[in-house]
Each structure stands twice: as structure tokens, then as C-alpha cells.
Amino acid sequence: MCRKTYRRQAGIPSISSILRMKLCRRASELAGFRGTVGFVPTMGALHAGHLSLVGECRRACDTAVVSIFVNPTQFNDPKDLENYPRTEEADLKLLEAAGVDFVFAPTVEEIYPEPDTRVFDFGGLDRVMEGEHRPGHFNGVGQVVSRLFDIVKPDKAFFGEKDFQQLAIIRHMVRGLSLPIEIVGCPIVRDTDGLARSSRNLLLTPEHRRAAPRIYEVLSDAAVSLRGKVPVAEAKRLIAERIDANPLLETEYIEIASAETLQPASEWGRAAGDLRCFAAVRAGTVRLIDNVAI
């Protein structure tokens, strides 16, 4: 893409205008740019998980674009939206060091000049797990991601498997809208103690941060000690019981579901990895999600 279209005097090019982003994309096409454009949509508060997506994007594509936008339509809890960490200045420094070509950081008014009333059909992928516990969340994700895809027009877009259900839903949406975009899923990045990297980790108290790795410890152990040895329903009960044994953690749900359809499983699959175990757990006021192949 055309880096000459817009650049700050120092640091990484940061674009807040949709028109400018589209003009930059168009200018690159007119200039004969034929390389691949990779895109990593984020809500900011960047961490090693995001940077791993950026790294995959840079390795696979000629130009790397990252968006920073806290999308209000995917929050079903106003307090969650209000408390979501925002660290844009630090984010820009991280992205510059990571070699990103452009950052698209629009305002809410820029993305939603009028209320977005679109309702998406995700083929039932949004009716379980996060969709059941966070009504409207995935429709908001569909609204913003489809909007960003239309603005950036990437060849490839990169998403982490920590939000495994979101990844499946975005793939479904791209197929349904016949968008010429390859959706690339990237492995979960974890801290050395196993906790999945998440922007929400910044909100954990020291005590809850010390307790939170128990989630992954229990999930990963279940893949070895429970799969095929007890019924699926009993495995889910035992996983929740083991997490909740820590008084600082409270399980919201445990689900064992098809890795392909996300439909809850009633029995173990034929091969390891054809199912995934999903967890949503509250650590104080912070809601954490994780998943493992099982």
C-alpha cells in the first residue's frame, strides 16, 4: 500500500479517517501495488498475543495494517465497555516496533455515523457459549468486522484462537458475504504460567492474577485425565468443580463442543482434537475465557 499517502512526522502512520484509509488503499492500487495486504483488527490494550498476530501478518503479507477500535456494539454490559483498558499511546509504540505499516484508529462516530441496524445470521454458531451468555455480542462483532473489512479491503485477516467461537463466526460471515478474504487463525499465546494473554488481564488484582492460571491448568489436565474416561457431562462438572475449588474463581460455563460446528457434544469424538473444551470464568470482576483441544 502507498505509505506516501499519509504519514505522521515521526513514528508509525496512524489514520483516523475512513476516507483517508480508503484513499490510501485506492492510491496503492493505482500505483500498481500488487502485494498482499494483511489486517489485524484489535480493540487496543495490546499484548504479546496481539503482537504474535502482527508477526504472522508481516510474515505472510507485504503490507500489515492494524486497527485499534473499542467497538461499543459488541458490549452487552455498559460497565464492561467503560472499564475496557485503553492504552493507545503505548499501543502505537508497540506497533511501530513490530514493523506495522499502517494503524487505523477511527472514532466511534467515524465507524457508526448512524446506528448500525444490520442483523447477521451466523448459522447457529452464535447461539451457544459466548452467544448465550452475552446476547448481541457476536452481532456487534459482525457489524464492526464487516465494516473494517470494507474499509481496509485486506487479502488476509488474522485472529487468535483464544476467541475460538469468534474465529468460527467470522469465517462463516466471510463465506456468507462472499468476501475475497482469507481468515487466518493463530494459536493462543500464554504467559509462562499458562494464562491466556488478554487485554482484560490488566484489570486483574494481584491476587486474582495469581489464581487465574488455574483455568488453563484444569483444562489442559482434562484433555489427558478425563477424555474418554468419564462421560462428557461428568467431565464438564468435574472441570467446573476443580476450577471453583479456588475461592477466587467462579465458573460461568464449561462446554465441550465440536471444533468445527461448536455444537455441544454429548459423547467423546473419535479422534483427539475434534472437540474443544471452552471455559468462561470470573476472577473477581474480570471475566476470562479460554479453550483447549480435547
Q: Is 43 annotated as a binding residue?
A: yes
Locate 26 and state its grid cell.
Answer: 485506492
Handedness of CA 144, 43, 190, 278 (dihedral sign): negative
> Which residue has 465497555 as its cell numbers?
81
Q: Is 208 annotated as a binding residue?
A: no
Q: Is 196 annotated as a binding residue?
A: no
Nearest to 258 by CA among 273, 240, 236, 237: 273
Q: Is 162 annotated as a binding residue?
A: yes
Q: Is 137 annotated as a binding residue?
A: no
Q: Is 49 annotated as a binding residue?
A: yes
Q: Is 74 annotated as a binding residue?
A: yes
Is 137 one of the catalytic residues? no
Q: Is 32 annotated as a binding residue?
A: no
Which helix (H) or strand (E) element contains residue 175? helix 164-176
Q: Is 93 annotated as a binding residue?
A: no
Nearest to 40 by CA among 139, 175, 177, 185: 185
Locate 86 and state its grid cell.
Answer: 485503553
Q: Is 163 annotated as a binding residue?
A: yes
Q: Is 238 annotated as a binding residue?
A: no
Alpha-carbon distances, residue 21 vs 56, 67, 128 (angstroms): 22, 11, 35
User: Which amino acid is present at 242?
Assistant: R
Q: Is 58 annotated as a binding residue?
A: no
Q: Is 199 annotated as a binding residue?
A: yes
HSE-CB for 48 with a 13 A CA cutoff: 10
Q: Is 20 annotated as a binding residue?
A: no
Q: Is 160 annotated as a binding residue?
A: yes
Q: Is 119 annotated as a binding residue?
A: no
Q: Put the strands of the sheet holding 182-186 in their side by side order.
A: 14-15, 102-104, 63-68, 37-42, 156-160, 182-186
As a whole number of angstroms, the distance between CA 53 and CA 49 comes to: 7
**Active-site position among 50, 137, 172, 208:** 50
Which helix (H) or strand (E) element contains residue 15? strand 14-15
Q: Cβ(253)–Cβ(133) under 8 Å?
A: yes
104 φ/ψ sector (left φ>0, alpha ψ -120 to 50, else beta): beta
Q: Cβ(252)–Cβ(287) under 8 Å?
A: yes
* Active-site residue set: 50
Which residues belong to the annotated binding site?
43-50, 74, 160-163, 166, 189, 197-200
Which residues belong to the annotated binding site for (R)-pantoate?
74, 166
Which residues belong to the annotated binding site for ATP?
43-50, 160-163, 189, 197-200
Which residues belong to the annotated binding site for beta-alanine?
74
